Structure 1
Amino acid sequence: MQLKKLCKPFILASLLISSTVIAQTQVIYNANGYTPLYQGDVQSFSTLVIKNGKVVKVGDDSLKDSFPNAKLIDAKGNTLLPGLIDAHGHVIGLGDNLSQLDVRGAKSVDEITTKLKSFAENKQGWILGRGWNQELWSDTRFPTAKDLDKVVDDRPVVLSRVDSHAIWVNSKALKLAGITSATKAPEGGEIIKDEFGNPTGIFIDKAESLITQHMSAPTKQAISDSLDAAGQHLLSLGITSTHDAGIDKTTWQVYKERSEQGNLPLRIVGMLSAASPDLTEMLKAGRYQDASSFMSIRSVKVYADGALGSRGAALIEDYADRKNHHGLMLETQAKLEELFTLSFKHGFSANTHAIGDKANKVVLDAYKNVFKQTGGILLRNRIEHAQIVTPEDIPRFKTLKIIPSMQPVHATSDMHMAEQRLSDDQLQGAYAWQTFLKQGSVIAAGSDYPVELANPFDGLYSAITRMDHNMLPENGWRASEVLSREQALRAFTLGGAYAAHQEFKIGSLEHGKWADFILIDKDYFKAPLDEIYKTNVLQTWIAGELRYKKE
């Protein structure tokens, strides 16, 4: 029995690398290759040599003559980049979203209800969907349950806002959940009510649980299916590694089981959800890392405030478009300090969602206090989003060694709405990527999918232009914060790797690192700006294995 236990990890780890890769050196040649260097600028190359799933070296095409027995693979002149890393997404949410009602981009309530009516015809039980955004409608007020009742009144309907910080439900869902005018929102949540005090069907942040607690929890098989669906989608976009921002116990179990079976679709860095009632149990199980760096779990996702679009982001001053409203803190500073202390005690870093300037300030204060009392400053803790930060708080990220984990596409998605929600003073430290880099902070870039589309080339385009896809506003929104092409690529590769303690394993194509790379149909460094977001991924490779090929 003991012998079997000793052998099992080796056998399972070896499954992650095919025998073909182990047996033969591979040479990818005739490539237009670029890689950022961990300590250096971007290196150009045309040949990549791989052995045992790892990079041997890069160089010019004469390199292939040094490996006469290698398997030669012609890149056909296409651009080759390191595999892209999304440092903030929601894997199972993305997989779920691919099978639910998608109303992203809908321009009116009528457009949504038309889609809902068609979708509901072939569905039983709870009807779930995602993506509505009232800021895109001519009437930007929140919708109501009655709007949904017109097309579905016999089954509960729950539609998540695009940012997941609000849900819109029909009257059947209200009835099943027992929601009445007397129902009070939990701390950190809000029930939108009409002038008579009746619930309208909109629940913000922690109030969502009043509805969602009545929905059945997904099975392990459902989670595994969503993982596969999301994985295939991410691979098609050139993402070889993703950080999953907040996983529950069942997902944690599925991830470890799939890791041990050696059949994860891509690399995943899982963050335990601080909202999970099983957090302590998961922490006590310890950090998790498999031998081939496909699965890493060593951080906790903490939630400090809501989102800007639903006016849940916690602000120091009033919202410009809602007087006497400052948003929602989902946790007190004392609770944040308690969660940080618990995480650090078990060797886990804390990655905290903070969007508004008040939330960022409170979170920074909480980190500072806990660092003084218990340590933990070297764990590479993060603030997720760091969207609206006061100029005086930005330097504290560097002092406290906090990594700003930011999503460039949020700036271009939010810019018009942010101008309405916030005053110019409040926007001074908004989406301040270049300011963070100039002070020496490492930015870990991502998309926050499925809140935004997962395509990293959308994010790269937003980072280097701060424009929408119509190239507006001219020269970019608050253009002093744009990134160079090299800075943006580094944020989507080595930045994410560093934030996961993996900068010596992935993130660039340097000797000894895993050979994760992509072939694309445009030259990222030379293509016109308006072509970058149109980039197509031709192939995606992980550890020297082809995982995706465009048909």
Structure 2
Amino acid sequence: METTVYVARRIRTLDAGKPEAEALAVRRGRVLAVGTKAEVLEAAGEGARVVDFGSAVVVPGLVDAHAHLAGLGRSLTVARLEGAGSVDEVIQRLADAPSTSFQGDWLIGKGWDQNGWPGQGFPGRAELDARFPRTPVYLTRVDHHAAWVNGEALRRAGITRETPDPAGGRILRDAKGEPTGVLVDNAMDVVAKVVSPPTDEQLEARLSAALERCARVGLTGVHDAGMDLRTFRLLQTWDMAGRLPVRVYAMADGQGEERHTYLELGTYGGRMLEMKSVKFLLDGALGSRGAALHEAYSDAPGETGLLLMEPEELEARALAFMQRGFQVCIHAIGDRANTLVVDTLIRAGAATGTKALRHRVEHAQILRPEDIEKLGAAGLVASVQPTHATSDMGWAETRLGVERLKGSYAWRSLKEAGAVLALGSDFPIENPDVLAGLYAARTRQDAAGRPEGGWLPRERLTGQEALEGFTVGPAWASFAEERRGRLAEGMDADFTVLSVDPVSDEAKALVDATVVATVVAGREVHLHSTTLPTAL
């Protein structure tokens, strides 16, 4: 078996006994040795392949702790609406959409955000109907917690003025009571269930593209937050065939009827694919005013958001999965949702004796100070997404007011309270670029450096803490801390090579930095074409 020695300007091991090194050797997918170049070459023995990355920096494999592979694959092929500045621009993008944007005869798009449009009001079906009178159109909002559809889509779903709002959802209506074409949270499902599903070929192409993108941006692993059974079965097949380029820690989709099958199957551990956890959603998103708040939205008196299931149902599902040995991960954005989730995980964990399963709060976005302390004291994982803060900072205060911002996107406060931070992106809601996540975690600024000093700067993380959040944190949150998250002898040979040092170089250097290489289990799954290493 070939041994490869990798040399770089610096290797940040995150191993307390040897935090920095010049070289590391890899054999049979594991780290053979870490140290000076001379030490590692001696350990590798004669005939070892040597790769010199020059001025690049090696870090333990970067892992996105909250993402959606099927969603990323879908977003790479359907109509892209991110950054559209108006309804008219959305319509034009749809008119120019590629053929891959269709599922059956349904035109699919994603990424619209009314917060970036004049007036910031929700769109309506009329604009879509004028351009697409007979083609059903289904467009998900940037946060995936609202959908914009046309009249044909409403007709196929049987939605009329008499259709009641489903539990945990809202059908927006005009002054006459007619559906406007915007569906929030659980109301999306009424239309989604009649949308033509992707073909097997489409699903395979999408997942392949998503996994390739992950490797290209430097990710050695992804925690998939709510995987449907069809996707899981396909990835199982690929894993058994050795086709997965990155590791996938899958959370079973616990929201729909497939949860019964997952409960029956139990947990799963493959070579590159694991499913030891389950994901539930309790509330919606802040941008669509679906996040469940204790008090009304500052910009919508009387509205407090949505609970996507009753708290009693959430607890019953959590108990059932905990008893089957699943780690329970629950989406909570609003402060009311976070109160309920923290209490539920503590209570259910105690009832089942499963604190060791490291239950997780996904997003942990807006919390009251007392719930931050409670979450940390309970040893729960806070699975947070740094780029959500920099995406939302322009309008979050309008939604919440100044006082509630004190417990919002509060990474440092959560860490100081004792929570384990596992950082991610929530792609495709955000870009899967992990360098952007490292930058946002350190600066709480956009790519242009705004606002000066960072938004709510007390909650920034240091470069070291940000790196740990994408390495050590996800490893702990997936029970892999003895195998990954650090670079030490015997650990899995998962590492990412960057053109900059994410800890000691200035944070702004991350904006234009390059992922030089991605190595998973000793396999080079990505090498940047313009910065190829030198093999000696």
> Normalised by the shorter chain, which TM-score bucket?
over 0.9
For 1:178, the equivalent position in structure 2 comes to 158
For 1:381, the equivalent position in structure 2 comes to 359
User: Higher mean Cα deviation, 126-135 or 254-263?
Assistant: 254-263
For 1:102, the equivalent position in structure 2 comes to 80
For 1:132, the equivalent position in structure 2 comes to 112
Give the Cα separation in 1 of the matches to 2:437 and 2:181: 33
| Structure 1 residue corresponding to 2:294, chosen from 305, 316, 336 | 316
Give the Cα separation in 1 of the matches to 2:40 and 2:429: 44
For 1:476, the equivalent position in structure 2 comes to 454
Query: What secondary structure does 1:36 align onto?
Result: coil
Deviation at 1:148, TM superposition (A): 1.3
Unaligned runs of 5+ residues in structure 2 are 530-536
Deviation at 1:413, TM superposition (A): 0.6
| Structure 2 residue corresponding to 1:57, chosen from 10, 24, 33 | 33
RMSD: 1.5
User: Higher mean Cα deviation, 234-243 or 106-115?
Assistant: 106-115
Q: For residues 408-447 of structure 1, what are the alpha-carbon distances to aligned partners after superposition, in whole Å with 9 as ceiling and x for unaligned?
A: 1111111121111002221111111111112222100000
Query: What secondary structure does 1:392 align onto?
Result: helix
Distance 1:119 1:219, change over 3 A: closer
Alignment TM-score, normalising by the size of structure 1:
0.93
User: Higher mean Cα deviation, 462-471 or 118-127?
Assistant: 118-127
Deviation at 1:399, TM superposition (A): 2.7
Q: For residues 460-490 of structure 1, what are the alpha-carbon distances to aligned partners after superposition, in whole Å with 9 as ceiling and x for unaligned?
A: 1110001111211111111100000000000
Deviation at 1:258, TM superposition (A): 1.5
Give the Cα separation in 1 of the matches to 2:54 and 2:342: 49
Deviation at 1:209, TM superposition (A): 0.8
For 2:532, the equivalent position in structure 1 comes to none
For 2:534, the equivalent position in structure 1 comes to none
User: Higher mean Cα deviation, 238-247 or 276-285?
Assistant: 276-285
Give the Cα separation in 1 of the matches to 2:349 and 2:12: 39
Count of residues in Structure 1 that have an aligned counterpart in Structure 2: 525
For 1:269, the equivalent position in structure 2 comes to 249
Query: What secondary structure does 1:359 align onto?
Result: helix
For 2:305, the equivalent position in structure 1 comes to 327
Q: How does 1:344-363 map to 2 (within 5 A)?
A: 344-363=322-341
Query: What secondary structure does 2:276 align onto?
Result: strand
Q: For residues 332-377 of structure 1, what are the alpha-carbon distances to aligned partners after superposition, in whole Å with 9 as ceiling and x for unaligned?
A: 1111110111111110011000000000001122223223332222
Deviation at 1:41, TM superposition (A): 8.3
Distance 1:545 1:31, change over 3 A: farther
Residue 199 (str. 1) matches residue 179 (str. 2): yes
For 2:23, the equivalent position in structure 1 comes to 47
Residue 442 (str. 1) matches residue 420 (str. 2): yes
Deviation at 1:42, TM superposition (A): 7.9
Q: How does 1:533-548 map to 2 (within 5 A)?
A: 533-548=511-526
| Structure 2 residue corresponding to 1:405, chosen from 362, 368, 383 | 383
Query: What secondary structure does 2:395 align onto?
Result: helix
For 2:132, the equivalent position in structure 1 comes to 152
Give the Cα separation in 1 of the matches to 2:147 and 2:276: 30
Q: For residues 25-59 of structure 1, what are the alpha-carbon distances to aligned partners after superposition, in whole Å with 9 as ceiling and x for unaligned?
A: 2111244221222xx38822110111111012211
Unaligned runs of 5+ residues in structure 1 are 1-22
Q: For residues 289-319 of structure 1, what are the alpha-carbon distances to aligned partners after superposition, in whole Å with 9 as ceiling and x for unaligned?
A: 12x4x11101000110000000000000110
Give the Cα separation in 2 of the matches to 1:372 and 1:518: 38
For 1:462, the equivalent position in structure 2 comes to 440
Paired residues of 1:31 and 1:74 also in contact (CA < 8 A) = no
Deviation at 1:227, TM superposition (A): 1.5
- Given residue 182 of structure 2, which amino acid in structure 1 is its aligned partner? I
Query: What secondary structure does 2:402 align onto?
Result: coil
For 1:12, the equivalent position in structure 2 comes to none
For 1:509, the equivalent position in structure 2 comes to 487
Q: How does 1:480-491 map to 2 (within 5 A)?
A: 480-491=458-469
Query: What secondary structure does 2:120 align onto?
Result: coil
| Structure 1 residue corresponding to 2:502, chosen from 524, 538, 548 | 524
| Structure 2 residue corresponding to 1:233, chosen from 189, 213, 218 | 213
Distance 1:287 1:389, change over 3 A: same
Give the Cα separation in 1 of the matches to 2:53 and 2:192: 49
